[in-house]
Amino acid sequence: MADVLLDGQIRNSRSVFDDLTPDFILGAVESSGFMPTGEITQLNSYENRVFDIKVEPHELIGPSAGSRPGVIAKFYRPGRWSMSAIQDEHDFLNDLKAEGISAVAPFSTRNLNTGQAETVFQYEGFPTALFPKTAGRMPQEFLNGELETVGRLLARLHNVGARRSSQHRLTLDSETYGYHALDRLEQIVYPEMWSRYRDACEAILEYLDAELDPRQNIRIHGDCHKGNLLQVDSISSTGQKEGGFFFVDFDDSCNGPPVQDFFMLLSGASDHDDQAKRELDSLLTGYEELRSVPDNLYVLEALRGLRILHYSGWIAARWADPFFPRLFPDFHSYNWWSAECLRIEQIAAGL
């Protein structure tokens, strides 16, 4: 069982991010030995709060960052993960970095109060980590050969992930990602759709129960979509412009089936969308150069259904946070659940 607090405790953290005043944010960074200049830019994040903060030059950053370097401060949502679970995330990132895999691992800083080196620390109730600032852009579309490159990167990530498990993270299965979400949604889905929605979801979850072998679980990214993949340009020795990729945001890293990290990189459903099928073929061409392709690719669409269910359950769990009704204003509408019900039924019918 992962070291995660209960939903009731999560809901009690509503509006807790209102405490993140500029002075609070700068104080957290300063407590780790950096000297902020006072410049703060908030970055996009639904679940946590993330800030780009200018600091004075520091030995951990290095001269390549220039005279006005920045660090990324991540304030984790209180009550979601234990400190041990966050440490598992950071250990995975450091394992990848040790293998020469492009991954943005947090700084290991010395707490000015305790003198201990740490990658995550509690600052007045907020689990907090500081990361180096890394430039990159989200790929809008994959050009020739780029999905093969991403496939090789993903295989390397999985090779490292397979070496040991994360002791305090979730295991991605029908129970943790499916049934809990379904229970939460019973009072939200429109009554006239609930039985259809529930039956389709349960068909997907029962299918995954039968088809997923927990012995094949490894550490995976868990939220492996294009928004968490950044591209950087480099110049080769021949003067050619080359594109490299790296994964970011391992906040949802977990123990689970490797195929979970495939389907969100595709433009559609690979079982009936020709473009998505070609994309999957390209991704797997690169992947199998460094790691055997999993033998259960047929569960991809069921995992897509699990993702849809889990995402709705996540919104429901966060509804007490005032940010979420503004972000998802149609969540309680008939049209939202009509569309969700149709998506889930289509996936269940194809199993």
Q: In this structure, what token pair is assigned to residue 111?
A: 């707490």
Question: What was the pLDDT predicted at 58?
Answer: 78
State the average pLDDT for the chain.
89
Interval 197-238: pLDDT, tens: 999 999 999 999 999 999 999 999 999 999 999 998 753 444
Which DSSP category does 293 fall into? P
CB 301 within 8 A of CB 269: yes
Average pLDDT over residues 141-159: 93
State how far Cα 317 lies from the chain centre.
17
- pLDDT at residue 181 in the model: 97
**193 and 274 part of one domain:** yes
Are residues 164 and 49 part of one domain? no
Q: Are 197 and 341 spatial neighbours (Cβ–Cβ below 8 Å)?
A: yes
Which of 83-87, 122-126, 241-245, 278-282 is predicted least confidently? 241-245
- Are 285 and 148 contacting, i.e. CB atoms less than 8 angstroms apart? yes
- Specify whether 216 is located in the same domain as 248: yes
Q: Which domain holds residue 201?
A: 146-349
> Are 211 and 234 part of one and the same domain?
yes
- Please say whether the beta carbons of 104 and 247 come within 8 A: no
CB atoms near residue 330 (< 10 Å): 10
Position 117 scores a pLDDT of 81
| Token duo for residue 351 | 């199993």
Distance CA 162, CA 217 (A): 8
If one counts the domains in the chain, the total is 2
- 7 pLDDT band (50/70/90 cuts)? very low
Q: Domain for residue 328, yes or no?
A: yes
**Residue 198, helix vs strand vs coil:** helix
Beta strands in the chain (DSSP E): 36-43, 49-55, 70-75, 109-110, 117-118, 121-123, 126-132, 218-220, 229-235, 241-247, 254-256
Q: What gap in Å lies between CA 222 and CA 111, rounded to an integer?
A: 30
